[in-house]
Amino acid sequence: MTTSVAVLGATGSIGTSTLDVIAHHPDRFRASVLVAHRSVDALVALCQRFRPDLAIIADASLGAELARRLVAADVRCDVGAGSDAVIAAVSGPLCDTVVAAIVGAAGLESTLAAARAGKRLLLANKESIVMAGPLLLDALREGGGVLIPVDSEHNAIFQCLPGGRPDLNKAGVRRLILTASGGPFRGRTRAELGSITPDQACAHPKWSMGRKISVDSATLMNKGLEVIEAHYLFGAPADAIDVVVHPQSLVHSMVEYLDGSVLAQLGNPDMRTAIAHALAWPERIEAGVTPLDLPRSGPLAFEPADTDTFRCLALAFEALRAGGDATAILNAANEVAVDAFLAGTLPFLAIAEVVEHVLAELPPEPVVDVQTLVARDAVARQAARKVLHRAYC
């Protein structure tokens, strides 16, 4: 039986890696729904190759253009536009599995809809769970679906736990250990980071990523968001989650047990491994990834994360401990600060300062529903812009 897969964010790095795995297994998986934000050209090209039942452009103003281009390309499929079309697609019968890879807060409502609909949810949108972890867990319980993380670190933890997402106390888990590459500025002092430019921050030593996530990697905020994600995914308190810097990026994360055992998941840094695992779980399938050659990989090194220099990681832990919607406030303030840095109006080190100001200004409130959360997200963004205007403009 072929599994029908909706790929949200089909033109991004996770989306294209997912489609590559699907292409390796045409008898097993089919890309039935493809969703892109604004990239009409790229979406049309994917539709020509994968022939989905439905193509959606999230920017509603581009719906007519997408329809016209698909007709010109002789692609026969239904066309949708706007966020409501995405939500309807993930809630309906066209897909069994949803790969949630829309970047940022824009992916929240479609992720929740897929969870409520009982889909097999492959989560690559960390902002959804960072913003609305309690709501996502409630939606999963309501829909009875399965969530499998696609972020390499969380997929590694999933693989190292018995049954994927057990009760950690009953499983004898002492702590979850997330690995971090350290980003492009590993080992530098705060004094050396004062004049960092956007191009320098986006020059990751190992991966080519979007500019926003590249900056988050450089500040270690990306790892902070992953700490929050691990808390909700696996039910681990903040004190049972640790971060270690591992520059080789071959150990993707580890789980330490009460008996002293530490289980690690290793592999070449290629997202197709985690995607293939999540698509086929509990089975294993070929992912098209080069096997890891340990004798030729060289020594593996580990070092503590420098939270004094990279304050964003410490702030993420603080927001997690504060509870309520503090993690959503953190995420919103960070998005505004990173945009300002990329625009050249905010120094690199001031990203953490903006986030810290907003967290102090907006004490956490309970997470009640999506509408309240979206409103608080807007309040946090406005507070961040005021901090920028007051201190850096």
Is 324 annotated as ligand-binding? no
> What is the Cα–Cα distance from 379 to 362, expressed in whole angstroms?
9
> What is the Cα–Cα distance from 274 to 39, expressed in whole angstroms?
25
Is 119 annotated as ligand-binding? no
> What is the Cα–Cα distance from 232 to 239, expressed in whole angstroms?
13
Is 142 annotated as ligand-binding? no
Is 195 annotated as ligand-binding? no
Is 318 annotated as ligand-binding? no
Is 126 annotated as ligand-binding? yes
Is 334 annotated as ligand-binding? no
Is 13 annotated as ligand-binding? yes
Whether 69 contacts 44, CB under 8 Å: yes
Is 127 annotated as ligand-binding? yes
Is 229 annotated as ligand-binding? no
Is 181 annotated as ligand-binding? yes
> Per the structure block, which two tokens stand in for 335?
């998005």
Going through the chain in order, the beta strands assigned E by DSSP cover 3-8, 29-36, 54-57, 78-81, 97-100, 120-123, 146-149, 173-180, 241-245, 251-257, 262-266, 303-304
> What is the Cα–Cα distance from 328 to 351, expressed in whole angstroms?
16
Is 152 annotated as ligand-binding? yes
Is 217 annotated as ligand-binding? yes
For the chain, the straight-line distance linking the first and the last C-alpha, in angstroms and rounded, comes to: 58
Is 189 annotated as ligand-binding? no
Whether 53 contacts 77, CB under 8 Å: yes
According to DSSP, the β-strands at 303-304 and 241-245 are antiparallel
| Residue set of the binding site for 1-deoxy-D-xylulose 5-phosphate | 126, 152-153, 181, 204, 217, 222-223, 226
Residue ranges for the known binding site for NADPH are: 11-14, 38, 125, 127, 210
List residues forming the annotated binding site: 11-14, 38, 125-127, 151-153, 181, 204, 210, 217, 222-223, 226
Per the annotation, binding residues for Mn(2+) are 151, 153, 226
